[in-house]
Chains A and B, each alone.
Chain A
Amino acid sequence: MSALKLILLYSLRIVRREWRRFVLPLVSLTVTSIVLVVILLITASSTQLLEEQARELQGGDVVFESNSPFDGATLFSSADISPSDVSEKISFSGTLQSELRTSAFTVEVVDANYPLYGELLLRNDIFNQIENDIVYIDEIGLERLGVSVGDSVSFGDASFIVAGEVLTKPTSLFGGFSFLPTVFMSIESFAKAGIDPALLRAEYSYSAKVSAISSEMIASLRAIEETSPLLNVNIAGQDQRGLQFGLATVSDFLIIAVLITAVLAAVNVYASTLYLVSVERKSLAVFLALGMIKTRLVWVLGTALMYVVLLASALGTLLGIGLFKLLQSGIASHYLISLPTPNILTYSLVSCVLIFLISVMSFIPAIRKSLELNPKQILIGGDDTPRGRRSFLSLAVITFSTLVPLVLLASFLLQSILQGVLVIGGIAVIYIFVAIAYTFFIRILYKQRVRIPFFLRSIVSQKYADGLFGVVSFASLFVALAALCTLALTQVSLERFLANDLTQTIPSTYILDVQPSQKDELAENFPQIELFSNVRARIIAIDELRIQDELAAGNLDVSGELGREFNLTARNELLQSESIVDGEWSAGRSGEISVDEEFAKQADIEIGSKITFSIQGFEVSGTVTSFRSTDSRSGLPFFYFVLSPEDIDMFPSVYFGYAYIEADIQAALGRFVATTMSNVSVLETQALGTLLLQLVGTLLILVLIVTLPPLLIATLLIAMLVVSSYATRRRDGARLRALGMTRKRSFWLYILETLSVASLASVFAYGIGVLVTLLVNTYFLKLDVSPIYDTGLIVGLGLIIFFIFSIALYLYKTDTLELKEILSHE
């Protein structure tokens, strides 16, 4: 028989007859393969969608945007570009009203060419062109106003008929989420509303269809952008904007799910192979005694694993593709988005190769153990396993070499070697730390076991005897559970904060975009409203440091954050939510500035620093005389800089306000604003809170998905440990019964031993979850909420323990061997 035939024959035989030992690596690799395929396909498909629909999502091949009106035609002409078609749009927030209610809206004023690309999708109708005297409103807007298609709504001085319900617009990927509902109207309709455009905080856009964009055109367009600081130029496929950035962020997040799953799968393959070699060491040693050389034995075991890898890759790829197709269809029906189908073959191959690499690199270190097999042990017994320092070094080398393909995987998915190293390194550090802590914990208990009762001593001894397999099981389950507990408790914190704590303190109503000419009338009719001026400015200098110049020169020591526009306000008094932590409150004194404490730390601003702002082309300076801290729970307006009214009231500004008012006054305010100042928006914070809760819920569902595959694999590992070690445990239990222990006591000892790892992991993971959540709440989210108890989470942990208990019970109850047979059975 040729060597190849021998290897194939023996490996197949081992897999077929010892298939139970391969269940764990098979399931782990299959789950990893599914997750990898789904995420690769979703990411590729979404990227393809954004590329294919870049023009639709942007509104044109080239789009100019500005906060003030401009002549787009002249700009294209100056760039020597002749668009084949153009469309203009104005977007702003305003208030619409129906007979029953009022609501703030995002108003999109569009021309007859809208949209240049894509469709405005209507329910039960087709949109051709915007017409006069009608509006199109989305579902949420119709709900807020309490109207349907065919009803009448008013905006400013004019009334319009609702001609259709908007399902999706071409510039948004999801028909669903936005803070304000949307209404579409024509330019003529807007003119009829009689609203002074000068009162609007609007965004003006000029979109163009350009058949072929050359590099010269791009250069010209960029030059326009540089010479017009108030103008943004977006070129389809060139500029990373909101959705593309959002997609990249979500992709990175999902990639973490893949990586954690891959780490645990690699651990499972390593542990299973190690276990197989340990349990079958005598059989394997016999092969050597019969004359098989060690490398051939490695090939036999490796080929056995490859059958598993092939099966897992095939299963995982097919199921992953199936799941992707399901998601594709679900997204199409729920969100009306047609995700394109990427090159499935390519990504399937990539997934298979990565699974293969992970398996091989996890297998090789474990197989090193088989190379340590010495057939003479069969004759003279003893254990040749290297211990102490050599064993620890060997383990370190093994761990490191297993991480290599994972780093490759991470680098590939994250498109960055550094990020790949950091992410895998981070996961590995946590894992190794937990494994070491558990090992020491068990060792300490084991050494002190004489002091503890026999029942517990047996459990500790069993855990000690489980060795590396037990450590790996615990660490895997703990890492997965700790992540789950932290995420679940964070979600509970946010929900509690938004639903309960926040609603206790925040104002009932926010009022946006009040113009200076409208301020007095609003205040007169609704004295409960507190209004704050809001002037946009950029920081020119902090002391001698010229911020904009330094940023333009690429000085990395200056934070990019300082280069953006800030909202300045002016007040004489502190708000209830504020307190002075250093210095002295200016109380409206000219030339003094109060700065937010946290921002001051980040920007290296000190008491006495001189800050110079550019406000609408003028320079305004002041000296920092105080640092403020703000209670984030108050929901009151938050500004980094508070100046004296004397210093900035001369600049045209927009006012932002809040009020604590009852529902009836709120309704009256809505009507007043809709009738007399439609450019102003009134937001009910209760609705906002609900929306935020929905958003948080959606994001956290995504995050919970991250933890499910690793949790599944970790639980399977524990289950496998239970099943694999049942024979040994049964025999030990029989020995104890032979020595006089009752059957019932032996049963409970077995059950408690079996549940010990899962229970310990759950308890510690829950504790760590509480601690980490507390830290996240305090230092990151700044929430004054400390959830310790969550029913759903405790039930979830209980289910995992129950699952393992069920397996143990099943094994025990289906074991029909009598005591004497167990003791004599090999």
Chain B
Amino acid sequence: MSDSEIILKLDNVGKTFSTSSGPLQILSDVSCEIRRGEKIAIIGPSGSGKSTLLSLIGLLDTPTTGTFDIAGESVTNLDEAAKAKFRNKHIGFIFQSFELIAPFTVAENIVAPLQIGGQTIAYKKINALIETLGLTQRRDVMTQTLSGGEKQRVAIGRALANKPTLLLADEPTGSLDRATGEKVLSLLLDTVKETNTTLIIITHDETISDRMDRIFVLKDKTLHERT
């Protein structure tokens, strides 16, 4: 794949929810093209639909209107099993609340996407990743005992373990203090740069959005690129 290759293409994507008081449109005519290796920030006021957009891109939800492609494949109308497979292969998630798997150790959390996808685990590479994340000493520790920063590093490791095409991060430093958040963010940015992974990050923090290649603002149910 070349650097100029379009990794994500959204074409008039919209999402409407059914509520007891009638249909509620969250997104309308969202269109954009994102290339390989780009770092994208999506900002917007609270309740503007940022997380909804991220869930659509991450194939956790289905758009009501429009289509979108990831890595050249049309994914709009995939069934659940196909979505799960695609998600495992091409998408990595980092959640604000870490969302580590409670009964698993650090190493087990990180290799989980590979195991789920039935891939062979190259332990050397995984160990190298764990070392990059600064978690070698905590490798076989249960995640409940980790600090917030450590947990988010595990989450980053898990998200990158299967070398995804697209990395989606929802307020990755939202639950961390400033200093820890800075460290985690730096680690994240260094790692995605090294692996040339496309990063889409939702954030309220301008210091974070300013470090991205492109900034999109979600406003009035649609996406506007800030120039």
Chain A residues in contact with chain B, CB under 8 A? 1-3, 6, 9-10, 13-14, 16-18, 280, 282-283, 285-294, 374-376, 378-380, 826
Contacts and interface: CB of A to CB of B under 8 A. Distances in A.
Contacts of B116: 6, 287, 290-292
B132 interface: no
Contacts of B51: 379-380
B51 to A, nearest CB: 4
A374 B58 CA distance: 13
A101 to B, nearest CB: 75
Given A283-B103, A289-B99, 15 more contacts: A1-B121, A3-B118, A6-B115, A10-B115, A13-B108, A17-B103, A280-B102, A283-B99, A286-B100, A287-B116, A291-B87, A291-B89, A291-B117, A374-B60, A376-B55
A290 B87 contact: yes
A290 B112 contact: yes
B54 interface: yes
Nearest to B104: A13
Interface string B192-221: 000000000000000000000000000000
Given A6-B116, A294-B80, A287 B103 contact: no
Interface in B135-159: 142, 144, 158
Interface string B158-200: 1000000000001000000000000000000000000000000
B103 A293 contact: no
B75 interface: no
Given A18-B103, A283-B101, A291 B88 contact: yes
B106 to A, nearest CB: 14
Interface residues of B, number: 39
Given A17-B103, A376-B60, A290 B88 contact: yes
A291 B113 contact: yes
A688 B103 CA distance: 65
A283 B89 CA distance: 20
Contacts of B112: 287, 290
Contact of B99 (A1, A2, A378): A378
Given A17-B142, A289-B60, A379-B55, A282 B118 contact: no
Please list the 3 inter-chain residue pairs (A to B) with the smallest Cβ-Cβ separation, ordered nearest first: A291-B88, A17-B103, A376-B60
B209 to A, nearest CB: 19
Main secondary structure on chain A at its contact with chain B?
helix
A282 B99 contact: yes
B1 interface: no
Nearest to B92: A290
B132 to A, nearest CB: 20
B11 interface: no
B144 A826 contact: yes
Contact of A1 (B89, B101, B118, B158): B118
A375 B116 CA distance: 16
Interface in B48-66: 51-52, 54-55, 58, 60-61
29 contacts: A1-B115, A1-B119, A1-B120, A2-B118, A6-B118, A13-B104, A14-B103, A17-B103, A282-B99, A283-B101, A283-B102, A285-B99, A286-B101, A287-B101, A287-B116, A289-B60, A290-B88, A290-B116, A290-B158, A291-B88, A291-B113, A291-B116, A291-B117, A292-B116, A294-B84, A375-B60, A379-B54, A380-B52, A826-B144
Contacts of B60: 289, 374-376, 379
Contacts of B104: 13, 17
Contacts of A379: 51, 54-55, 58, 60, 95, 170
Kindly name the residue among A10, A285, A291 whose own CB sees the greatest number of chain B CB atoms within 10 A. Answer: A291
B68 interface: no
A646 B5 CA distance: 120
A378 to B, nearest CB: 6
Nearest to A292: B116
Contacts of A290: 87-88, 93, 112-113, 116, 158
Contacts of B144: 826
